[in-house]
């Protein structure tokens, strides 16, 4: 214990501003990693690994255990290789989210066309919700969904509320699958989506969310698509994006959320905090000076 206190005192004496920056960068890296793993099964694995590392560090530092220390040094390279394998799905989703940063809808460039597309989706979803007809509508963005289009029946039809109602009508051949939209066209219906493996729905108290909601979350985890889900049991409307789900939406909120996802961000040359700081400095310079 005395050796440990001596080492801590030595580290504190050598602590400077560069060490503070170093610790800040490490903290930000861990915070970013935890934000990516939040809501996934990787959190449980990470918690177990952290607990194991703490126990091992305490045993090797406080007790003279040469054989155990040798075993750790021998198995450390294998652990370094095993960690990327264990967290492969989470790492893949994180890299995909970074690559999709700043993406926008591929619904078209004309505002009038975008409004018509949004109106058709909202109208169809409202009618489906009122009639308690389950539906899953996947809106393609920058990531192409061709591999999922091939699992369904190709339509390439002009989007309309009536067509969506016909597709998702009870006992029709295509009502169980998903509809994939590109621009103002329905590419295919009856498509098979990947199911979510994050465990988000299993922790939800609402047990009526089934395969449609898992499929909506699953496609949002592997692509930048936005999905609209209508529950067959309750008629509730939900939206999924980037592995997150927004539930209990009314038609007005649904329209606003879809437009918010579509609206591109205005490019800025400076960050918000720096722009505000420069603006406040500019205002202070223009104030009349007191004599």
- CATH number for the domain spanning 196: value is 3.40.1700.10
Which of 51, 75, 99 corresponds to the end of one domain? 99
CA-to-CA distance for 285 and 291, rounded, in angstroms? 15
- Residue 92 in tokens: 């893949």
Which of 67, 99, 131 corresponds to the end of one domain? 99
Domain annotation covers residue 9: yes
Which of 79, 99, 119 corresponds to the end of one domain? 99
Helix ranges, 152-271 (H)? 161-167, 211-222, 251-262
Assess whether 76 and 120 both reside in one domain: no
- SS3 at position 262: helix
Domain annotation covers residue 105: no
Domain annotation covers residue 282: no
Assess whether 41 and 116 both reside in one domain: no
Beta bridge partners of 226: 139
Assess whether 35 and 77 both reside in one domain: yes
Assess whether 191 and 166 both reside in one domain: yes
Assess whether 90 and 124 both reside in one domain: no
Beta bridge partners of 246: 239
Domain annotation covers residue 173: yes
CA-to-CA distance for 53 and 47, rounded, in angstroms? 10
- SS3 at position 190: strand
244-249, strands of its sheet edge to edge? 153-158, 185-191, 178-182, 135-139, 226-230, 237-241, 244-249
CA-to-CA distance for 290 and 287, rounded, in angstroms? 9
> Do the Cβ atoms of 117 and 108 come closer than 8 Å?
yes
pLDDT tens across 128-140, in order?
Answer: 999 999 999 999 9
Residue 40 has pLDDT above 80, yes or no: no
- Residue 15 in tokens: 């602590």
- Residue 112 in tokens: 């009038």
- Dihedral (C-alpha) 252, 181, 233, 127: value to the nearest 10 degrees? 50
When computed from its CA atoms, the radius of gyration of the chain, rounded to whole angstroms, is 26
Domain annotation covers residue 254: yes
Assess whether 128 and 161 both reside in one domain: yes
CA-to-CA distance for 86 and 82, rounded, in angstroms? 6
The sign of the dihedral angle between the CA atoms of 27, 33, 39, 43 is negative
Residue 99: band (very low, low, confident or very high) from pLDDT cuts 50, 70, 90: low
pLDDT of res. 285:
46
Residue 227: band (very low, low, confident or very high) from pLDDT cuts 50, 70, 90: very high
Domain annotation covers residue 287: no
Domain annotation covers residue 94: yes
The count of structural domains within the chain is 2
CA-to-CA distance for 242 and 261, rounded, in angstroms? 11
- Best CA proximity match to 226, nearest among 73, 110, 106, 52: 106
Model pTM? 0.60
CB neighbourhood size of 132 (10 A): 14
**Is the backbone of residue 172 left (phi > 0), alpha (psi -120 to 50) or beta?**
beta
Residue 104: band (very low, low, confident or very high) from pLDDT cuts 50, 70, 90: very low
In the chain, pLDDT over 70 holds for what percent of residues? 69
> Residue 149: which domain range?
111-262
Residue 265: band (very low, low, confident or very high) from pLDDT cuts 50, 70, 90: very low
Assess whether 178 and 245 both reside in one domain: yes
Average pLDDT over every residue of 112-139: 91
Assess whether 129 and 37 both reside in one domain: no
Assess whether 182 and 49 both reside in one domain: no
Cα→Cα distances 263→72, 84, 106, 191, Å? 52, 36, 11, 27
Assess whether 154 and 64 both reside in one domain: no
Q: What are φ and ψ of residue 37, in 5° steps?
A: -85, -10
Q: Between 218 and 281, where is the model more confident?
A: 218
Residue 67: band (very low, low, confident or very high) from pLDDT cuts 50, 70, 90: confident
Domain annotation covers residue 176: yes
- Best CA proximity match to 167, nearest among 234, 116, 227, 121: 121
The percent helix, strand, coil of the chain (3-state, each to 5) is: 55, 15, 30
Assess whether 255 and 120 both reside in one domain: yes
Residue 290: band (very low, low, confident or very high) from pLDDT cuts 50, 70, 90: very low
Assess whether 145 and 175 both reside in one domain: yes
């Amino acid at each position: 214990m005395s050796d440990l206190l001596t080492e801590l005192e030595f580290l504190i004496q050598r602590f400077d501003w560069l060490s503070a920056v170093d610790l800040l960068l490490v903290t930000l890296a861990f915070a970013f990693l935890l934000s990516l793993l939040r809501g996934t099964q990787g959190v449980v694995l990470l918690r177990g690994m952290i607990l194991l590392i703490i126990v091992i560090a305490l045993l090797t530092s406080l007790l003279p255990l040469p054989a155990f220390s040798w075993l750790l040094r021998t198995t450390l390279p294998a652990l370094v290789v095993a960690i990327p394998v264990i967290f492969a799905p989470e790492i893949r989703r994180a890299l995909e989210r970074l690559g999709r940063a700043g993406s926008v809808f591929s619904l078209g460039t004309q505002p009038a066309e975008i409004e018509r597309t949004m109106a058709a989706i909202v109208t169809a979803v409202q009618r489906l919700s009122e009639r308690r007809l389950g539906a899953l509508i996947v809106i393609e963005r920058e990531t192409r969904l061709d591999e999922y289009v091939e699992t369904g029946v190709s339509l390439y039809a002009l989007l309309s509320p009536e067509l969506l109602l016909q597709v998702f009508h009870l006992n029709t051949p295509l009502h169980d699958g998903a509809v994939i939209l590109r621009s103002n066209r329905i590419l295919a219906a009856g498509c098979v989506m990947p199911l979510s493996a994050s465990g988000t729905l299993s922790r939800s108290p609402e047990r009526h969310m089934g395969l449609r909601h898992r499929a909506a979350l699953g496609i949002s985890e592997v692509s930048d698509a936005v999905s609209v889900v209508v529950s067959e049991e309750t008629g509730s409307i939900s939206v999924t994006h980037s592995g997150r789900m927004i539930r209990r939406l009314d038609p007005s909120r649904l329209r606003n959320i879809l437009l918010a996802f579509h609206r591109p961000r205005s490019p800025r040359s400076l960050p918000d905090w720096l722009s505000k700081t420069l603006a406040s400095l500019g205002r202070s310079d223009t104030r009349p000076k007191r004599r």
